Amino acid sequence: MAKMARPSYGHCAMGTFEANFDGLVGPTHNYAGLSRGNVASKRNAGEVAHPRRAARQGLDKMKFLSDLGLVQGMLPPHARPDLGLLRRLGFTGAPEQIVERASQEAPVLLAAAYSASSMWTANAATAIPSSDTTDHRLHLTPANLENKLHRSIEHETTGRVLGRIFAEPDRFQHHPALPSCDTLGDEGAANHTRLAASHGGPGLHLFVYGRTALDDGAPRPSKFPARQTREASEAVARLSCLASGRAHFLQQNPAVIDQGVFHNDVIAVGNLDLLFCHEEAFLGGRAPHDALRASFQAVTGAELRIVEVPSDEVSVADAVSSYLFNSQLLSLEDGAQVLLAPIECEENASVKRYLDGLVGRREGIDRVHYLDVRESMKNGGGPACLRLRVVMTEAERRDLGARTVLDPELHAELGAWIDRSYREDLAVTDLRDPALIEESQQALDELTQILNLGSVYPFQLP
Ligand code: SUG
C-alpha cells in the first residue's frame, strides 16, 4: 500500500476541529471517598480539599490548551448541595434543616448531594459529530452515570446546560440519558474514542465497555464494578444515528478494572489515527487489534497506528497511579502531536523513562507537557477526565449559544470569580456548615451571568 501522507491536523483543518469542553471545578470540591473501584477517591477520603486551588488548576489547564491554539470551551459546575436529592430521600424542611439532619443521620448521602463530580466532563455525555451521522447533525447524549449515587444526579443539569450551549436544533440533536439501571450503565465519552484520518474526514467510533449486562456467562470483573455496559454503548451508537460501519465495540480487560481502571480513559487514549494504550487494556490483549485496524481502514482508507505500552515497561499499577493514559493527546496546527500528561507522570520513574523513550523514537507523539491538576487527580480525575471532546465545524461553532469558549476576557473574569467565591479549604465535615448552601448558590448564580447561560439550575427554575 502507498505510504499515507501524515493526516492534516490543526483545529481549522477543513473547517472542522476538535473542541475540548472542560468542567469548571465547583465551589464544593471535596474528598468524600464516594467511588468504589476508583483507588484515588478511596485513598484520599477524608483529606482536606482546596476548592480555589482546584478551580485555578482547571482554569490554568484550559488556558494552556487555548494558548496552544486549540478551541477550549467549558461546562459549568452543578448546583450543590442537590437539595432535590435529599428531599427525595426523605429530608424535609428549609435547606438548613435538610442539611443539618442529613449530616446527623446520613453523612454519606450529604456528601453525595454536595459532590463536585460534574467537573469530570469526560463523563458528561457522548458527542458524535455531524460528519459521522446519517442526519448530519451533531448528537449529544448525557451519561446516566447510574453506578454511583453522587454521579447519577448529574445528567439532568448536564442535559439543560448542553441544550443551552448546543442550542440550534438544525445542527444539534439532544437525547435524554439512557434509563438509569444496571443493564444500561453509561459513563459517556470516557469510554468512547473517535478515530479518523482527519477531524473533518469520516470517523470510526470506538466504544469500550466493561461488561455485557444481559449475558451472565460473559467475562466481567470480580472485585470492582464495570460501570459501562455493552448494551449502553450500543444504545448510544444507535441513538446518535451513526452511519453504518462507523461503530466498533471492544471489551475492557476485566482484570484491569479490578486494579482500578474504572473507565477506559484510565488505560487508553486515542486521537485521529493514533491509539495509545496499555498492553493489558483490552480483553484478549493484542488479539482485537487486527479487527480494529480493519474497521479503521474500511471507514477512513488509512492505517491505524497503535502504540502499545508493554507491562514490563509500565505496570498497570504505575499506569493507574500516574494516570499516564488519562493524558490528552492533541494535534496542533503545525502538525505536532502532543501529550498533555498529569505531573504525576513526570514523578513516576518508569513512566517518565517510557515517555522520554517514546518521544525519542518519534512514534507519533512529538512532545509531552506535564500539567498540575493534583486536586482533581486525588479524586481519580486526570487531564482527560476533565474534558469532553466535541468535533465540530466552524459553522456549528458560530451557532453555539452562551459564552463558554475561553478567551482572555473570559479567563480573567473567571479567575476573579473563583478568587472571590471559593473557599481555600474544604473538609468533608464542613459540608454541614449551613453557610455553604447560600455561598455555593450565590457563586453559581453569578457564573450563569458571566457565561450568559440563563437559568439552568434547579434553584433558578420556577
Ligand atoms: O467517577 N471521582 C470520579 C472520577 C471520574 C474520572 N473520570 C474519568 N476517568 N473520565 C468518579 O469516580 C470521586 C468523588 C469523591 O470520592 O468524593 C469521584 O467521583
Q: What pLDDT score was predicted for residue 4?
A: 39
Instruction: Determine which residue's CA is closest to atom 17 belonging to ligand 1.
Output: 32
User: Catalytic amino acids?
Assistant: 187, 263, 385
Task: Decide: residue 108, CB within 10 A, 0-12 exposed, 13-18 middle, 19+ buried.
Answer: middle
Q: What percent of the chain has pLDDT over 70?
A: 97
Look at residue 441 in the predicted model and tell me its pLDDT: 97
What is the per-residue pLDDT across 316-369, written as a single tens digit (0 to 9) for each? 999 999 999 999 999 999 999 999 999 999 999 999 999 999 999 998 999 999
Give residue 380's pLDDT. Answer: 98
What is the rounded average pLDDT of the residues 23-46? 98
Q: What is the dihedral of CA 66, 199, 268, 329, to 10 degrees?
A: -30
Number of C-beta neighbours around residue 290 at 10 A: 9
Instruction: Please tell me the distance from the alpha carbon of residue 399 to that of residue 390, in angstroms, as a whole number.
Output: 14
- 224-238 residue pLDDT tens: 999 999 999 999 999
Average pLDDT (30-50) is 98
CB 209 within 8 A of CB 229: yes
Summarize the confidence of residues 307-323 as an average pLDDT.
Answer: 98
**32 ligand 1 Cβ < 6 A:** yes
Residue 405 φ/ψ, nearest 5 degrees = -100, 130
pLDDT at residue 3, rounded to an integer: 36
CB of 261 within 6 A of ligand 1: the answer is no
The preferred substitution site among 149, 263, 324, 429 for testing ligand 1, maximizing ligand atoms within 8 Å of CB, is: 263
DSSP line for 267-288: TEEEEBTEEEEETTSBTTTTTT
Q: Per-residue pLDDT tens for 109-142?
A: 999 999 999 999 999 999 999 999 999 999 999 9
Is the previous residue joined to 81 through a cis bond, with omega within 30 degrees of 0?
Answer: yes
The pLDDT assigned to 325 comes to 98
Average pLDDT over residues 167-189: 98
Please check whether residue 67 is in contact with residue 371, taking contact to mean a CB–CB distance below 8 angstroms: no
Q: Is the pLDDT of residue 14 over 70?
A: no
Residues 6 or more apart in contact with residue 281 via CB below 8 angstroms:
252, 253, 256, 261, 264, 267, 268, 325
What is residue 324's three-state secondary structure? helix
Q: Give DSSP secondary structure letters for 132-185.
A: GBTTSSEEEEE---TTSHHHHTSHHHHHHHHHHHS--TTTEEE-PPPPSSGGG-
Task: Give me the pLDDT at residue 1, please.
Answer: 34
pLDDT score of 341: 98
The answer on pLDDT for 38 being more than 90 is yes
What's the confidence (pLDDT) of residue 11? 43
7, pLDDT greater than 70:
no
In b/e form, how buried is each residue of 91-104, taking b as 16+ CB within 10 angstroms? beeebeebbbbbbe
pLDDT (0 to 100) of residue 386: 99
pTM above 0.85, yes or no: yes
**Strand duo 172-174 + 192-196: pairing:** unpaired
Best residue among 191, 327, 328, 385 to mutate for probing ligand 1's pocket (most ligand atoms within 8 Å of CB) is 385
* pLDDT tens-place string over residues 409-431: 999 999 999 999 999 999 999 99
pLDDT at 204 over 90: yes
Q: Measured in angstroms, how far is the CA atom of residue 93 from the centroid of ligand 1?
A: 30
9-18, 94-103, 177-186, 245-254: which has the minimum mean pLDDT? 9-18
Average pLDDT, the chain: 96
